[in-house]
Structure 1
Amino acid sequence: MRTGIRGLLIAAMVTFGTAGFAQQGASSPENYNQGFRLGFGLNAGAVTGDYFNWSLGADARLQYDFSKRTSITLTTGYTHLFGDNDIPDLGFIPVKGGFKAFVWDDEFYVLGELGAGFSVTNDYDKTAFLWAPGIGYATKYIDISVRYEGMTDFKADQVALRLAYGFKL
């Protein structure tokens, strides 16, 4: 089942990403003002697997816009996975780099991120590889997205909703 969900998310990202690049030339101005954006978000999600029930976190995302439709991102923050009664909670700091492509009306986007999760709780001493495809909607200040975040070594993955406020630097 996990393989099917991952395959579906990757296929959607490739399909929408390709469509976004095909339309880029028609709607992007020649001299787009490239620059940085900064966003602060809150995350909440459902955790898959047998050890944790749900997640809660906060993040900061730095984004550099190459064009009106393409950006690279650097995201960090803190995520807390809440365990069952006899399983201790897990807190970790994610550090992820990614690529964001707007695919529809310069508001809807797909995002892919890769990075690491550094455990900060005493019961865990591992660093996990993170990969996170997602989709979202962004305006000048508001960013709402849903992502699947796969985590090796933490025995859990999550589907999370992110609500963020962002602005141009």
Structure 2
Amino acid sequence: MKKLFLVIGIALIGSTAMYAQQTDIDITPNNSWLKAGLTVGVPVGDASDFSSFSAGVDLRGQYLFNPNFAIGVASGYSHYFGKDGSDDFGLVPVAGFARYYFTPNGLFLGTDLGYGLLTNVDNNEGGLYVNPQIGYHNRDWNIYAFYQNTFAENDIDLQNVGVGVTYNIRFK
């Protein structure tokens, strides 16, 4: 099942990249920007056995195809604070993302799909990374709720529920 999600994600990102190469794309401050922000969350599932809180940074590059649909690349870092003698550990996602904006200001839905690299974890390098989001946006800010899941090696699902905020840094 994990491999199926990965194949579907790669196919979607690949087909979008091919479409972008076949069309005349004009990068402007109105359709492309960087997003930088912070996240906080509460680990659930397997992760809650080892951590009670997470905090991180969210970095994205976005291209808006039309007023409603955007794609991009996503990364960042989520730091999981250890509990009950467990060591802290982290997650670095390397992902593509898609978002649907219902209106120029208002509700959006989106998801990230890629690979989550684990740090400071023995015998586990990471796995399939999925991060669906729902939120509010305007020209400068995005505020969202997310459910982050990394289907890591050795049957470990690293799950996190939280909120994030990003600021749009326009290209000039």
TM range (shorter): 0.7 to 0.9
Matches of 1:105 and 1:64, distance apart in 2:
15
Tell me if 1:46 matches 2:46: no
Residue 106 of structure 1 and its aligned partner are, at CA, apart by 3.9
Contact 1:81-1:91 at 8 Å conserved across structures: yes
Contact 2:33-2:169 at 8 Å conserved across structures: yes
Aligned length: 138
Contact 2:68-2:103 at 8 Å conserved across structures: no
The equivalent of 1:163 in structure 2 is: 165
Unpaired runs of 5+ residues, structure 2, are 1-28
Tell me if 1:36 matches 2:32: yes
For normalisation by structure 1, the TM-score amounts to 0.74
The equivalent of 2:67 in structure 1 is: 68
Residue correspondence of structure 1 range 123-134 to structure 2 within 5 A: 123=122, 125-134=124-133
The equivalent of 2:139 in structure 1 is: 140
Which letter maps to 1:160?
A: G
In the TM superposition, structure 1's runs of 4+ consecutive aligned residues that sit over 4 Å from their partners are none
Contact 1:136-1:146 at 8 Å conserved across structures: yes
Contact 1:99-1:113 at 8 Å conserved across structures: yes
Matches of 2:40 and 2:116, distance apart in 1:
17
Residue 95 of structure 1 and its aligned partner are, at CA, apart by 1.3
CA deviation vs aligned residue, 1:57-96 (integer Å, no higher than 9, x gap): 0121100000001000211111111121222111121112
- % identical aligned pairs: 26
Unpaired runs of 5+ residues, structure 1, are 1-32
Contact 1:44-1:57 at 8 Å conserved across structures: yes
The equivalent of 1:102 in structure 2 is: 101
Question: What's the secondary structure of 2:75's corresponding residue?
Answer: strand
Change (3 A) 1:166 1:124: farther
Matches of 1:91 and 1:123, distance apart in 2:
12
For normalisation by structure 2, the TM-score amounts to 0.72
Question: What's the secondary structure of 1:101's corresponding residue?
Answer: strand
Residue 168 of structure 1 and its aligned partner are, at CA, apart by 2.3
Question: What's the secondary structure of 1:152's corresponding residue?
Answer: strand
Q: Which moved more, 1:113-122 or 1:90-99?
A: 113-122
The equivalent of 2:8 in structure 1 is: none
Question: What's the secondary structure of 2:71's corresponding residue?
Answer: strand
Residue 110 of structure 1 and its aligned partner are, at CA, apart by 0.1
Which letter maps to 1:37?
A: W
Question: What's the secondary structure of 1:86's corresponding residue?
Answer: coil
Change (3 A) 1:156 1:125: closer
